[in-house]
Homo-oligomer: A and B are copies of this chain.
Amino acid sequence: MLNAGSYYRKNGSCLFRVWAPFSKQMTLHLVFPDEREIEMIPKPEGYFIAEVEKLPASTLYFYNPDGEADYPDPASQFQPKGVHGPSKVVDHHTFAWTDHEWKGIPLQELVLYELHVGTFTPEGTFEAIIPRLETLKSLGVNALELLPVAQFPENRNWGYDAVYPYAVQDSYGGPEGLKKLVDAAHQANVAIFLDVVYNHLGPEGNYLGKFGPYFTDHYRTPWGDAINFDGDYSDPVRAYIADNILYWAHYFHVDGLRLDAIHEIYDRGAVSIWELIHKKLKANPPLTGNRFYLIAESDLNSPRVVQPPESGGHGLDAQWLDDFHHALYVLLDKKGRSRYADFGTTRHLQKAYEAGFVHSGEYVGFRRRRYGRSSAGVPGERFIVFNQNHDQVGNRVNGERLSVLVDFDHLKLAMGALLTAPYIPMLFMGEEYGEDVPFYYFVSHSDQDLINAVSEGRKSLLAAFSNEKEFPDPVDLETFRRSKIDWEKRRVGRHKVLWEWTERLLHLRRTHP
Contact = CB atoms under 8 A, between A and B. Distances in A.
Given A219-B220, A312-B304, A312-B311, A271 B363 contact: no
Interface stretch (A180-188, A232-240, A379-387, A437-445): A232-240
B271 A373 contact: yes
Contact of A270 (B234, B271, B311, B371): B371
Nearest to A361: B271
Contact of A231 (B234, B361, B369, B370): B369
Interface string A176-197: 0000000000000000000000
Given A234-B369, A235-B370, A307-B312, 8 more contacts: A218-B219, A235-B369, A268-B300, A270-B303, A271-B370, A311-B312, A312-B312, A312-B313
A269 interface: yes
A373 B270 contact: yes
Interface residues of A, number: 36
Contact of A269 (B219, B234, B300): B300
Contacts of A301: 270
A310 interface: yes
Contacts of A268: 263, 266, 300
Given A312-B304, A312-B311, A369 B271 contact: no
6 contacts: A232-B367, A233-B368, A233-B369, A235-B363, A235-B370, A312-B312
A203 interface: no
Contact of A369 (B232, B367, B368): B232
Contacts of A422: none
A372 interface: yes
Contacts of A456: none
A270 B304 contact: yes
A259 to B, nearest CB: 15
A373 B372 CA distance: 28
Interface of A: 217-220, 230-235, 263, 266, 268-271, 300-304, 307, 309-313, 361, 363, 367-373
A367 to B, nearest CB: 7
B302 A270 contact: yes
Contacts of A367: 232
What 7 pairs between A and B have smallest CB-CB spacing?
A312-B312, A270-B302, A270-B373, A232-B368, A234-B369, A235-B369, A270-B372
Contacts of A266: 268
Nearest to A233: B368
Given A231-B369, A310-B311, A311-B311, A270 B218 contact: no
Nearest to A375: B270
A220 B372 CA distance: 24
Nearest to A232: B368
A372 B271 CA distance: 7
Contacts of A361: 270-271
A405 to B, nearest CB: 29
